[in-house]
Amino acid sequence: MGKFYLVFLLYFLSFPAVFSAGNPQGKNSGEETTEHAEEFNAGVMIIDHIIDSYEWHIATIGHTHISIPLPVILFDQGKLHVFSSSRFHHGNDAYKGFKIETAQGANRGKIVKVKEGTTETDPEVSKPLDFSITKNVVGVFVSFIVLLLVFFSVAKAYKRNAGHAPKGIQSILEPLILFIRDEIAKPSIGHSYEKFMPFLLTMFFFIFFTNLIGLIPIFPGGANVTGNIGVTMVLALFTFFMTSFSANKSYWLHIFNTPGVPWWLKFPIPLFPIIEITGAVVKPFVLMIRLFANITAGHIIVLGFMSLIFVFAKISPGLGYGVSLVSVFFAIFISLLELLVAFIQAYVFTLLSALYFGMATEEHSHAEDHH
């Protein structure tokens, strides 16, 4: 603890030096700082970092953007356009009649059509169908490849030392696999759990690995994949369809003709079926929102702490340095928390999916007793 205070003290004692050293150029860079300061908007910066993008931005040094351009694939009026996103020059240019919308609004950051020969958005025509390999798509591919590499090696390990104690990466993942089987699938689904194991395992490890990769700040990590509502929507839809397709008769009976409910609640106004159907739809919807919100929130908080440094630096560089210590400390703390959240959200998503499967395949021997 004493050491910590010493470092702290040294840190603050060095400020006057930073000030004096910084001052000669202060005038010079001061203008730039104010210029940048006016540009810096914490909210916009944060949103730009967590939403999808057509290029994988790595760093900006001075005015040079270091980023990996990604392919843009567009369907527009029956025609296919494929080109590199570097054609947009980081969103400054239009290409082939398309540009990335920079104005605030519903389309910000998406590709829109421009008026012939200009870089102005054409609000008249509809947006092109956008199948671009965006940052998040690459993020999904990264997770995809990592999962395949990891689990093929694990499967090989299981074949190689069959009947022996697990080794290496196999021994790290085996407790998780057993955890999903024994703590999630078996209690939630019951005797028919084996049918759902591949789905639950894939779901859990996809979310868990993607969450973890999302916490790595540089390429190929850092894409806010599980914090994207499109991704979580697909995951939730998989759960929804899996539930619906594996559901037995009594599940549908409960939805459309709930036993033990007075008939006038079902006819002529089908009040109960409506409630039940809403319930069936809300379940995956909640899954979608929960994962999206949790992961996005984590990213927003870390970025928020980072923004604080720049917000305070705008007031005074010294204050910026001071705040950076606190910010970095909190950012580390939140990042550690996010490690936990990465696991918890994967667990919750898988557990709830398993519970829904359990409900869908449950045998209602005493149907009349329910409700």
Partner 1 sequence: MELVNPGIGLIFWMALSFGLLLFILGKFVWPPVMRALHEREKNIELALHEADKAREEMKQLLFTNEIMMLEAKDERDKLIGEARVIKESLIEEARLKAGEEANRMIENARERIHFEKMAAITELKNQIANLSIEIAEKVIRRELSDPVRQEEIVRNSLNEINLN
Positions that interact with partner 1 (CB under 8 A)? 47, 50-52, 73, 106, 108-110, 129-134, 136-137, 140-141, 144, 147-148, 151-152, 154-155, 158-159, 162-164, 174, 177-178, 181, 194, 197-199, 201-202, 206, 228-231, 233-235, 237-238, 296
Q: Which is nearer to partner 1, 1 or 106 (CB)?
A: 106
Q: What b-and-e string marks burial along 255-284, b requiring 16 or more CB atoms within 10 Å of the CB?
A: beebeebeeeebeeeeebbeebeeebeebb
Instruction: Report the chain's terminal Cα–Cα distance, integer Å.
Output: 58
- Tell me which residue of 231, 55, 69 sits closest to 143, measured CA to CA: 231
Q: Closest separation between CB of residue 137 and partner 1, Å?
A: 4
CA dist 263 and 313 (Å) reads: 67
CB 284 within 8 A of CB 229: no
Please give the structure tokens belonging to residue 95.
């290409």
Asked if 56 contacts 65 with a C-beta cutoff of 8 angstroms, the reply is: no
Q: Cβ atoms within 10 A of the Cβ of 318, count? A: 16
CB of 54 to partner 1, least distance (A): 10
Q: Which residue, 225 or 313, has its beta carbon nearer to partner 1?
A: 225
Minimum distance from CB of 120 to partner 1 (Å)?
Answer: 20
Contact by Cβ (8 Å): 310, 274: no
Q: At what angle do helices 271-315 and 15-39 cross, to 10 degrees?
A: 130
Nearer to partner 1, 203 or 342 (CB): 203
In angstroms, what is the minimal distance from the CB of 88 to partner 1? 16
- Closer to partner 1 by Cβ: residue 233 or 323: 233
* Closer residue to partner 1 (CB): 163 or 217: 163
- CB of residue 281 to partner 1, shortest distance in Å: 17
In the complex, the smallest distance separating the C-beta of residue 84 from partner 1, rounded to whole angstroms, is: 16
Q: Phi and psi of 248, rounded to 5°?
A: -95, -175
Q: What is the CA radius of gyration of the chain?
A: 26
Pick the closer one to partner 1 by CB: 231 or 313: 231
Of residues 15 and 151, the one with the C-beta less far from partner 1? 151
Q: CB within 8 A of 336, min separation 6: which ones?
A: none
Are the CB atoms for 307 and 42 separated by under 8 Å? yes
Angle value at C-alpha 346, between 276 and 285, nearest 5 degrees: 25
User: In whole angstroms, how close is the CB of 332 to partner 1 at the nearest point?
Assistant: 25
Burial 39-57 (b: 16+ CB within 10 A, else e): eeeeeebbeebbbbbbbbb
- CA–CA separation, 255 vs 178, rounded Å? 33
234 vs 340, beta carbon nearer partner 1: 234
User: Which C-beta is closer to partner 1: that of 61 or that of 106?
Assistant: 106
How far apart are CB 335 and partner 1 at their closest, in Å? 21
CB 252 to partner 1: min, Å: 24
